[in-house]
């Protein structure tokens, strides 16, 4: 192909993605420095960093930031540890393995609003939910999960959705592990843990780091699961940054402050993204 044609073919994807990145981004940055509230259209003008100051000093900001970190951290820990355990458990030939795999990864394909509502109603409801029924069986008082432990409830729901993702990735990666090496280790008398620490874990080091980074990107912007279950409450107990910005924008109509929050979220995500892009770049051969 001649170089001109190559350039013409590449141009559309580069141009649309460039526009998609630069137009909304510069608008967000611009909005974040002006007075912009849909309820008070007559107030306008440049106000510097006041929106940021307002966003940072909002009493909900610190709890939301803390909730975001707890949510991301716990889901990461649960899904990676559980994902490792399960994928090693099924990394052996047995009858019905295909079915077990399909059952294990299915939750990942359920849309977020559906999984959140199944858990909210049929599992965690304090009167009719299955958790309540089980605690009655043991003679315990049922727990009203969503109002007593709102953040924990969201963590459970998101972990249920994302552990299958970790299982899927680790399972795929384990299939490329050198089986002869493992057999040789077994013959040499290496036990399960010795093999795990010295063979399996090093083999999974890359997939683990990729899973951590990708989940971090997605979990920083968890929205639907909170939107349909707790609505961020009670109070701000289960509000994360994404949800806080959402409430300021579409419920408080304060575009300026919400944009300042948006810029903050973008910076936070980019810190993670730098590492992810580097990790992926290493595997890309041009």
Partner 1 sequence: MTDKQIAQFKNRVAVVAAWIVACLFFFPIFWMVLTSFKTELQAIAVPPKLFFEPTLENFTLIQDRTDYTKFAWNSIVTSVGGTLLAMLIAIPSAYAMAFNPGRWTKDILMWMLSTKMLPAVGVLMPIYILSQKLGLLDTKGVLVIIYALINLPIIMLILFNYFREIPKEILEASRMDGTSTYNEITQIVMPLAWGGIASTALLSIVLCWNEAFWSINLTASDAGTLPALVASFSSPEGLFWAKLSAVSTLACAPIVVFGWLCQKQLVQGLTFGAVK
Show contacts with partner 1 in window 174-203 (CB under 8 A): 176
Among 34, 168, 185, 190, which residue interacts with partner 1 (rule: CB under 8 A)? Answer: 168
Among 89, 184, 194, 201, which residue sits at the site for partner 1 (rule: CB under 8 A)? Answer: 89
Instruction: Output the six-digit token pair for 225.
Output: 């699961």
The CA distance from 103 to 93, in Å, is 17
> Taking the complex as a whole, how short is the minimal distance between the CB of residue 37 and partner 1, in angstroms?
12
Residue 110 binding partner 1, by CB under 8 A: yes
Tokens of 10: 């590449």
Report the nearest approach of partner 1 to the CB of residue 59 (Å). Answer: 20
Provide the token pair at 156: 């459970």
Shortest distance (Å) from residue 31 CB to partner 1: 6
Rg, C-alpha atoms of the chain: 24
| Min separation Cβ 246 and partner 1, Å | 6
Q: Does 25 bind partner 1 (CB under 8 A)?
A: yes
Q: Which of 163, 200, 238, 239 binds partner 1 (CB under 8 A)?
A: 163
CA distance 175 to 101: 13
Question: What does the alpha-carbon distance between residue 109 and residue 231 come to, in Å, rounded to a whole number?
Answer: 23
Residue 254 phi, psi dihedral angles, 5° rounding = -95, 90
Name the segment binding partner 1 (CB under 8 A); options: 46-54, 73-81, 194-202, 224-232: 224-232
Residue whose tokens read 């460039």: 18
Q: Which residues pair with 37 in a beta bridge?
A: 254
Which residue's CB is nearer to partner 1, number 64 or number 151?
64
Enumerate residues 6+ apart whose C-beta is below 8 A from 90. Answer: 97, 100, 101, 104, 171
Q: Is 219 in the site for partner 1 (CB under 8 A)?
A: no
Distance of CA 285 to the CA centre of its chain: 28
Per DSSP, 142 falls in state: P
CB of 9 to partner 1, least distance (A): 4
Q: Which of residues 244-283 bind partner 1 (CB under 8 A)?
A: 245-246, 249-250, 255, 258-259, 261-263, 265-266, 268-270, 272-273, 276-277, 279-283
Tokens of 98: 């295909």
Quick check: 205 binds partner 1 (CB under 8 A)? no
Q: How far is the CB of 73 from partner 1 (least distance, A)?
A: 18
| C-beta of 19 vs 77, nearer to partner 1 | 19
Binding residues for partner 1 restricted to 120-149, rule: CB under 8 A: 120-123, 127-128, 130, 133
Total residues binding partner 1 (CB under 8 A): 106
Choices 48-56, 63-71, 109-117, 143-151; region in contact with partner 1 by CB under 8 A: 109-117
* 232, two tokens: 């961020």
Does residue 124 contact residue 131 with C-beta atoms inside 8 Å? yes
The answer to whether 222 and 46 are in contact (CB under 8 A) is: no
Candidates 23, 62, 81, 194: give the one binding partner 1 (CB under 8 A). Answer: 23
Written as six digits, the tokens of 18 are 């460039």
């Amino acid at each position: 192909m001649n170089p001109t044609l190559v350039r013409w073919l590449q141009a559309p994807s580069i141009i649309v993605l460039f526009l998609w990145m630069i137009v909304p981004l510069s608008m967000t940055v611009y909005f974040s420095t002006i007075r912009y509230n849909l309820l008070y259209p007559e107030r306008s003008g440049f106000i510097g960093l006041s929106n940021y100051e307002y966003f940072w000093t909002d009493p909900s900001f610190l709890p939301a930031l803390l909730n975001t970190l707890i949510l991301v951290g716990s889901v990461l820990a649960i899904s990676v540890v559980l994902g490792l355990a399960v994928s090693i458990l099924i990394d052996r030939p047995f009858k019905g393995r295909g079915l077990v795999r399909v059952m294990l990864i299915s939750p990942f394909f359920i849309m977020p609003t559906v999984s959140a509502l199944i858990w909210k109603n049929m599992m965690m409801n304090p009167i009719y939910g299955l958790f309540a029924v089980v605690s009655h069986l043991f003679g315990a008082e049922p727990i009203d999960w969503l109002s007593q432990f709102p953040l924990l409830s969201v963590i459970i729901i998101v972990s249920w959705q994302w552990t299958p993702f970790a299982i899927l990735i680790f399972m795929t990666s384990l299939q490329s592990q050198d089986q002869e090496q493992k057999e040789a280790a077994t013959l040499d008398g290496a036990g399960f843990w010795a093999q795990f620490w010295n063979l399996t874990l090093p083999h999974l080091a890359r997939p683990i780091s990729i899973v951590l980074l990708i989940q971090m990107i997605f979990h920083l912007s968890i929205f639907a699961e909170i939107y349909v279950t707790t609505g961020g409450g009670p109070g701000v107990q289960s509000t994360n940054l994404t949800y806080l910005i959402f409430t300021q924008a579409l419920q408080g109509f304060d575009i300026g402050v919400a944009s300042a929050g948006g810029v903050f979220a973008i910076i936070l995500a980019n810190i993670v993204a730098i590492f992810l892009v580097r990790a992926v770049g290493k595997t890309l051969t041009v």
